[in-house]
Structure formats: structure tokens, C-alpha cells
A and B are shown apart, each in its own frame.
Chain A
């Protein structure tokens, strides 16, 4: 099956799909849709995905699919050679994967990505910052989400569902948290350090998908280095990220 994957490696769900394909040796063509250059709203891309978002996959030139959770599930089932721990056939484990992926939308996704977008990336793209309350609400939700990961989703094992091996849910949610690497080092440590299980889980997922995890995150770390260098010389007011966390 011919697989085209339309992505931007700065996008959390794009990275999840790429890492998954590489770990499972799935043959695909990666096509960059550069969000910072507004390529996602260009007519050529809109014809592929009218929602103008990444990632999208096109299978055999015909079937177009978007939404990263749907994409990951489809690839698990449609492509041979994918190990069963990524999307187990056991109905209870599979249901838990669906459950955490659904929870993700309104919790981690709505907080980590939104916080970084509103405080770091939107200004980088020349977009106006939203009301400070938006960033404040995102932080509160992020703290609640990280607590739920620490106390509930990771209480039974190393990974979210199949306790000793990662599933598509682990790759997807860890890629979301990785976006926080764009914050200053101080804020990143302050936000994440209290959550020991979460920090360990990120490391376990990274190791389980090595070397692809680091390779796919390469651009994120390049941007992080540039941003942190700029933060060191031109400090921006991050007051909303202080002791409230």
C-alpha cells in the first residue's frame, strides 16, 4: 500500500504518526506542510484536507484520512507487521486506549499545545497573543492533566495501557508533552518536575522508540535552542507561568 504522510514536525500529532511508521518499518513518503509558512491553508492542501490541519495520510492515492488517532488506528490494522502491543486486540485494553486518546483531546491537547501556542509560537508567527486569561486557564488545565496522568493513567505500570509496552496512546500523548520543551528551561522544569512518573514515562517511551523519537524531534530541539537563546538575551514577561503552578 502506498502511503503519503502530510506533516509538519513542529506538530505534535504529526510527530506521533512519523515515529509510529518508522518504529514499525512502514514504507511512506513524508510531505512537509509548513505551518509557519501557512502552507496548510493553501488551496492545494485544502483539497487534500479541508480542515487545513496536519497530519493527513493518503493511502494508494485514493483514501484520505485525517485526525491522528484515527490514522494511528488505521495503520495498526491495515499494515502488516505492526506488533500487537501498539493496538491490542484484547477488547479491554483496546477500550482503554480509546478512552485515554479521547480524554487527551480535552485535557492534555487542550492545555500543553494551547499554552505553548499562546505564549511562545503565536508571537513567533507574528500573531497577536490572546487574552492572558487564556494562558492562565491553559496552565490550570495542564496541571490537572499532568496530575491525572501521574495519579491515574500511569498508576498501574510503565505505560498507559499495556503496562510493560507502549501503545499508540503513549506515542501520541508523549509527543504532546514534548511541545513543552519550547518553554524556557526554568518553566519546563517547574511544570514537569513534580510529576516523577510522567517524567519517567516520557523517557521510557523515548527509549522504546529509539532512535526515531529523537530524530523526529530534531526540529523541535533546534527551535528550542533558538528560542531559549533569545529568551536569555531578551527576557519576555512570563509572569503568568510563575508560582500559580
Chain B
């Protein structure tokens, strides 16, 4: 039975799984769960993943969610997956686990908070909480600084590695979500971090052409969001 991947290309962890599968020639069926339309809350999807989040995989009788866990499972299951994605050396593997764990409360939390407060709430005509917005931006900037000065200090890829691991896929997909911000805010937040910017490019090159293809929906949505935000601020002047 073919592996089923329930995902939304607007979701950062979903994109990491899709890029990984395509890079490694893993046969799978992509099933879109449209988050903006609330499809993750339907009873049918809740029966698959009671947390109502994407991505989820179903491999025969086995259902799994949480993208880090999925990437590790796929790395181990398919013998054709090159070892740099999830190293077998215990020390190298521990470093990959460490950055994936760090990600949750740092880059992920900051990035999601900034996008919710600067894009999703205003676009839906909802007020954003200035304190939450400020905290999210602080968390994001701190995370980017830690990436720049620690996680990327010894190599082109995270944790001093010379080739990308599943951690690079997941964290770069997260940084890419910031494309949804206005051009001005995106540049203000990211431009100080030269190593981070280079790392995004290096990960893109290492996973071409799939990276660009999978991010297509995000770029299309970026254009739409920026036009909508411009129209809104035009209306309020």
C-alpha cells in the first residue's frame, strides 16, 4: 500500500516531508488538507489525527504525526535514503535531535507568532495583541541570532554538518514561511543574518528542483497576501 501524506503546502512541516520524499524517490500519495478552509477539523481528518494538525502519514496500518518523528521514521524505513539525512553515528544523530528539539520553542514559536500577528490576524480583520507581537518578534530574532552564531558556526548546514540533514529541511521550511510578511518586514528581520540567508540558499540548491516546486503555493500566496495588505493600508489612509 502506498504511503499517504496528509499535508498542506502552506504548512512548514508539511513542505519538509514532501521535499524529503521527493528527494529520496519515496513513492507516496499527497492528500491536501486545506488549513485555511479548516479541513483539519473535519470528523474524517480528526479520525486520522485527533490533534487536527498537518502533516500526518499513514503507512499501511500505521499512522504517525509530528514532522520530526515522521522524517526520522521515513529515514529509517527506506534503505535508499542517504545517511546524511539522519546520521547513524550516535554523536551526529544526537546533534540533529538537539537542534530539532530546540526548534520547537525557538524558531517555530517566534516565526508562527510573527506571522499570526503581522499577517493572519490583520488579513482576517482581527486585532493583534501588541504584547504578543512584540514577544514573538523578540523570540524570532533571538532564534535567528542563535542560528547565525551557534547552529551554523561550524558548517554550511546545521550542527556543523557539510551535508543537509532532516533538521535543515524542517528549519529552512520554517524560515521560508516568513516570505508571507511584507517585503519591508521580511528584509528588516532577516537581512542582518548572512549565514542564515546563505544556509537557506544552500538548502535550496541541495534539494533542487523540489524545493522551489513545493514552495510554489507559498510564493503564490505571498503575492496575494501582499496585494491584500497593500489594498487594506490604502483604504485606511
Is A201 an interface position by the 8 A CB rule? no
Distance, CA A161 to CA B95, complexed state (A)? 24
Distance, CA A92 to CA B97, complexed state (A)? 18
- What is the total number of residues of chain A having a CB less than 8 Å from a CB of chain B? 30
Q: Which 9 A-B pairs have the closest CB atoms?
A: A98-B69, A105-B104, A70-B97, A67-B101, A102-B66, A70-B98, A74-B94, A99-B69, A99-B66
The CB with the most chain A CB atoms within 10 A, among B77, B93, B101, B131, is that of B101
Distance, CA A106 to CA B112, complexed state (A)? 12
Q: A66-B98, A92-B62 are in contact. Are A102 and B90 (CB under 8 A)?
A: no
A-B contact pairs, 28 of them (CB 8 A): A50-B146, A51-B102, A63-B91, A65-B95, A65-B98, A67-B97, A70-B95, A70-B98, A70-B101, A71-B94, A74-B91, A74-B93, A74-B94, A78-B90, A91-B76, A91-B77, A92-B62, A95-B73, A96-B69, A98-B68, A99-B64, A99-B66, A102-B104, A103-B66, A105-B105, A106-B109, A148-B51, A152-B50
Distance, CA A130 to CA B215, complexed state (A)? 38
* Chain A 176-192 interface residues, beta-carbon cutoff 8 Å to B: none
A69-B97 in contact (CB<8A): yes
* Chain B 8-50 interface residues, beta-carbon cutoff 8 Å to A: 50
Is A131 an interface position by the 8 A CB rule? yes
Minimal beta-carbon separation of A83 from chain B (angstroms): 18
Query: Which of A51, A68, A74, A96 is B90 in contact with, Cβ under 8 Å?
Result: A74
Enumerate chain A residues within 8 angstroms of B150, measured Cβ to Cβ. 50
Question: Told that A50-B150, A96-B69, A105-B105 touch, could you supply 13 new A-B pairs with CB distance under 8 A?
Answer: A51-B146, A66-B98, A67-B102, A68-B101, A70-B101, A74-B94, A74-B97, A95-B62, A95-B70, A95-B73, A98-B69, A98-B72, A151-B50
Residues of B bordering A, CB below 8 Å? 50-51, 62, 64-70, 72-73, 76-77, 90-91, 93-95, 97-98, 101-102, 104-105, 109, 131, 146, 149-150
Distance, CA A106 to CA B53, complexed state (A)? 13
Closest chain B residue to A62, Cβ basis: B91
Closest chain B residue to A75, Cβ basis: B94
B90-A77 in contact (CB<8A): yes
Closest chain A residue to B72, Cβ basis: A98
Closest chain B residue to A131, Cβ basis: B131
Query: Which of B62, B68, B91, B95 is A102 in contact with, Cβ under 8 Å?
Result: B68
Label chain B's interface by main secondary structure.
helix
* Count of A-B residue pairs with CB < 8 Å: 74
Enumerate chain A residues within 8 angstroms of B97, measured Cβ to Cβ. 67, 69-70, 73-74
* Chain A 53-73 interface residues, beta-carbon cutoff 8 Å to B: 63, 65-71, 73
A91-B101 in contact (CB<8A): no
* Chain A 146-163 interface residues, beta-carbon cutoff 8 Å to B: 148, 151-152
Distance, CA A98 to CA B96, complexed state (A)? 13
Enumerate chain A residues within 8 angstroms of B68, measured Cβ to Cβ. 98, 102
Contact with B along A104-135 (1 / 0, CB 8 A): 01100110000000000000000000010000
Enumerate chain A residues within 8 angstroms of B64, measured Cβ to Cβ. 95-96, 99
Distance, CA A158 to CA B78, complexed state (A)? 32
The CB with the most chain A CB atoms within 10 A, among B95, B104, B105, is that of B104
Minimal beta-carbon separation of B171 from chain A (angstroms): 14
